[in-house]
Amino acid sequence: MQLSTTPAQDGFYFPAEFQPVSQVWLAWPERRDNWRDSALPAQQTFARIANAIADVTKVCVAVSSKQFDHARQVLHCEIRLVEIPYNDAWMRDIGPTVVVNKAGERRGISWTFNAWGGAYNGLYENWQQDDLVASSVCDIIGIDHYRAPFVLEGGAIHTDGEGTLYTTEECLLSPGRNPQLSKAEIEKNLREYLSIEKVIWLPKGLFNDETDGHVDNLMHVIAPGKVVLSWTDDPSDPQYALSREAEKVLKAHKDAKGRSIEVIRLPLPGPLHYSEGEASGIDISKGMNRHAGERLSASYANFLIVNEHVFLPLLDEKTDAEAMAILNEAMPEYQIIGIPSREVLLGGGNIHCITQQIPA
């Protein structure tokens, strides 16, 4: 059921990803103007990721009727498949953000979705089905939902579950999202729908990120007052200045509970680029241009935390082990599970972008 109130009015708040999770949702990739070679390589990678997560918690995968049988063959038998219409497979952005209250009740938020920029710079022209996915997921799992009257994607926000929200100005203030709203009005909406007390605005996201700088590709909150941040020490890399700007903001602010924020630097893979074969393997479309040699927006921060496990994208054999080691040290109580995920990266995101956790 769609509610007419807001989460803040009803005492619901946005919990952290490191709080207990009851299930994780994905959507099956098939869009040929985004996933190369009829999406088959991406489907193999999505299956590997979904099957790994299924060892830790319940997994549900949205799928189209024409892909149902193929998905059933490659996904573990305990993974639930649900036929839901959608335009592309970014469940973080099209699925519900689920909020909880002190009694442990859950409700979903269906953000307004416009393909990361609408008519201004959206990645595709028809996103009507995507915009209905969050409410469908809420119906399937049996929770009520709120419909937010402004554009937002799940990948644009991170929280510590204790009142602090992290986002980027590049994304939330982009002309394609909510041009009619001021920064203060957007912040008021975030407080109303997520019950957060403080917004920490980072200037920009990761270089060449076609989502206009989603925060989940730049950093991740791993504990209250503790974040990992994508980092490079190469002054010639365009990300060099962007990461330093972000770190400066993080270190200048206290979180909602008055704590200083500990920043752990996580090296970037690469730089990585589209190969000739990868760029030419997709159908040409207006919104999603892929060119050989173009920089990929690759990041180890785009991982998923589920019940004491971290599902980490493996992207570059020169830096994978270092990223694993840094996270092992920063999160000693977690099991770090690395999964090769370049095929997800080629579509414009990574493991965090294709998953949406439902709190326990």
Render 306-329 in DSSP notation, one character per residue.
ETTEEEEEE--TTTHHHHHHHHHH
Predicted TM-score (pTM) of the model is 0.97
Residue tagged active-site, from 60, 138, 171, 353: 353
- Whose tokens are 């009142």? That residue is 163
Domain around 209: 2-359
Do the Cβ atoms of 252 and 235 come closer than 8 Å? no
How far is the C-alpha of 151 from the C-alpha of 162, rounded, in Å? 24
In the chain, alpha helices (H): 7-10, 40-54, 68-74, 91-94, 118-121, 130-141, 169-172, 183-194, 239-252, 276-280, 320-330, 342-346
Do the Cβ atoms of 200 and 165 come closer than 8 Å? yes
Instruction: Specify the number of domains making up the chain.
Output: 1
How far is the C-alpha of 152 from the C-alpha of 165, rounded, in Å? 14
- Give the pLDDT of the chain (360 residues) as one tens digit per residue: 999 999 999 999 999 999 999 999 999 999 999 999 999 999 999 999 999 999 999 999 999 999 999 999 999 999 999 999 999 999 999 999 999 999 999 999 999 999 999 999 999 999 999 999 999 999 999 999 999 999 999 999 999 999 999 999 999 999 999 999 999 999 999 999 999 999 999 999 999 999 999 999 999 999 999 999 999 999 999 999 999 999 999 999 999 999 999 999 999 999 999 999 999 898 887 777 788 999 999 999 999 999 999 999 999 999 999 999 999 999 999 999 999 999 999 999 999 999 999 999
Query: CATH no. for residue 324?
Result: 3.75.10.10
60 assigned to active site: no
What's 156's DSSP letter? G
